[in-house]
Amino acid sequence: MTDNLSLTSAAGNLGIFECPNCRQTIDASATQCRFCSAPIDPVAAEAAADKMARVNQACSDASYLRTAAISILVFLGIMFIPFMTLLGVFGYYFLMFAVPFLAIRWWVKFHGLGAVDPDFKRARLTVIVVSVLCAIPLLRFITSLI
């Protein structure tokens, strides 16, 4: 018996993609589009659904990366609040190393994903900006060690 509260069991069986004819989002298991009645190739549907899932994951990871990068500034501000300095210092230094790691991870996982989705383009731009902004202090730290 499957657990109805599990997200992984439902996510593994279902996939969605855009109909190549009308561009409406449909289920990958459909044999024809419910909007325009165009026939759907099951192999192409699975490939399109997999790509759409990867694009959605890339956008989600980029959003998480942006939030973590903004949190660096929050922890920087917390450093100057009395009795919270230690929390600010730990959070700041943790994120100064975690955010570049997450950016590198994003590039490794999604750099070759050739998607024309506007959300993916926005996610890529977010990761580029975060990568550049985090590379400057990281390079400065590394050069100070040398």
In contact, 69 and 134? CB cutoff 8 Å:
yes
Instruction: Map out the domains of the chain as residue ranges.
Output: 1-40, 54-145
In contact, 53 and 117? CB cutoff 8 Å:
no
> pLDDT 10s digit of each residue in the chain, 146 long?
444 544 444 444 468 888 888 888 888 888 888 888 888 888 888 888 888 889 999 999 999 999 999 999 999 999 999 999 999 999 999 998 899 999 999 999 998 887 788 889 999 999 999 988 887 877 777 888 87
Three-class DSSP category at 18: strand
User: Quick one: how far is CA 18 from the chain centroid?
Assistant: 20
